[in-house]
Structure 1
């Protein structure tokens, strides 16, 4: 590593120490740890179970149920999902797993793609049926990845209007949004909300060891969320395994780095019991990275992170479900 790369890594981490102490943990070492979900006051586990992986075709119905229930039995109470994951199979499988009293033990989140109120409401109702529940704790506008998405969502008869009605009807409790393309789009979505006298309860975005170096959500969006006490949902801690292919960082390091940010929860996909156990172990034994540890890790990842090669969700359409299926937007 040359001096320029080291200084770049140090600069990427310089913003963090002033906000890292905002989120605390609430358990002794060896137990699942929990944080407060922004201004909602809800307590959520520092690691959340991603919904996409449990719906993959190579994961059996029985294994998906075992993964969900084992996660909950070990203290993971944040469940992630989406209306479009695996053609609805992810929600169906999670709904099956949440029977027999498991629903009452979790904070359930799902996402929808519709930009207009009618489409969004229809997708929400479908999610409720698949998940076998009468309400969702958190609904999020999925894949805010275009600069004009906020205007469509906040337009008269837009998706927000539909979700505000759903909240009034008791179908949802909290409202947030997700995206993985650009921090500038996230900032535009937040600004659009503020201009409409609305504050999101949560925001979901990629937070990982590569992001700090390239078009960074960590550096640009995270401080805004902390300032407004909006729940921070970190996703793609390993970039859907792509980051691990760099060969410069391990999965536990990726998880611990993301948990050391002022996140409320770090969502990770688990397609096997072994991967789930890895996430549980990191969460239960978590202690925040020191400034020196963080700087060293960012210095190690800097040489391979500067062009977004390992962040395909930013640099390609590989993860853009609504780009491949524009009809989902309504």
Structure 2
């Protein structure tokens, strides 16, 4: 495994992050726990999760897996949906209980995908107040946000943070071989984060296999492209031992890519990527848990 520094935090995290949604896909809880243990035993330290994944089932599974000494081997991240302070407090405490821990290393505002989300988060009695109080109480260590729809929403969130004298520790967003052609997080948001020393968490490297269906790139090429960016970790869905082996093979074979190699990959994906057909998380509500269940927002 390779490790990188998480922005200005000086924390070292694994280049591969274990996607929290996918760890719940093995039907047997024990199979899921064994998969988490296998990942940690081989050096993956960054654990992704969310309060809303499978109605909390993913956090419960992760919490069980992190017993017996495993908790101290990982950098544990989860996300909550609450936009009000009251709802955020409730979800934070639920996440701590499910994860069977007294602290979360990184807590992120989840699915910042609407222009009004930042306004709600930073409003009086908004979720950010709950985050700050949780950090003061030692329940969380670092604060960030995620989103997968439009880079303009990310930029608005960063602007709102600046207005409130807040600098996030991390930001999570889609970074993949198609992003450069449609709603470009890499070109519009990544430079801002690097300038401010914010840790960059890449996701959707394969778009839950959707990008692979374009028949333009292979899985390890997708991972290599994301790894080649100046980011801290590539959070990828791993739901089986073969997928875990694939991720480790991508790390083993990774070499910094020259501009010619990058350009060749982007040229290969240009036509398929032009309209966002294979990045449905940008163009539809298919991946939006808070669209399906707006009550999560509070």
Unaligned runs of 5+ in 2: none
RMSD: 0.7
Tell me how far apart the structure 1 counterparts of residues 38 and 157 of structure 2 sit (CA, whole Å).
36
In the alignment, what sits opposite 1:84? Answer: 52
Confirm whether residue 39 of structure 1 aligns to residue 38 of structure 2. Answer: no
In the alignment, what sits opposite 2:269? Answer: 301
| TM-score (normalised: structure 1) | 0.89
- 1:190 is aligned, of 136, 158, 183, to 158
Cα shift at 1:289: 1.3
Cα shift at 1:288: 1.6
Tell me how far apart the structure 1 counterparts of residues 64 and 180 of structure 2 sit (CA, whole Å).
38
In the alignment, what sits opposite 2:117? Answer: 149
Q: How does 1:243-258 map to 2 (within 5 A)?
A: 243-258=211-226
- 2:148 is aligned, of 162, 170, 180, to 180
In the alignment, what sits opposite 2:101? Answer: 133
- Deviation string 1:133-186 (CA, Å, 9 cap, x unpaired) is 000000000000000100100011100000100000000000000000100000
Q: How does 1:150-299 map to 2 (within 5 A)?
A: 150-299=118-267
In the alignment, what sits opposite 2:92? Answer: 124
Tell me how far apart the structure 2 counterparts of residues 60 and 215 of structure 1 sit (CA, whole Å).
38
Unaligned runs of 5+ in 1: 1-31
| TM-score (normalised: structure 2) | 0.99
Tell me how far apart the structure 2 counterparts of residues 285 and 306 of structure 1 sit (CA, whole Å).
29
Confirm whether residue 96 of structure 1 aligns to residue 64 of structure 2. Answer: yes
Cα shift at 1:195: 1.1
Tell me how far apart the structure 2 counterparts of residues 300 and 243 of structure 1 sit (CA, whole Å).
12
Runs in 1 of length 4+ with deviation above 4 angstroms?
none
Cα shift at 1:59: 2.9
| Count of aligned pairs between the two proteins | 298
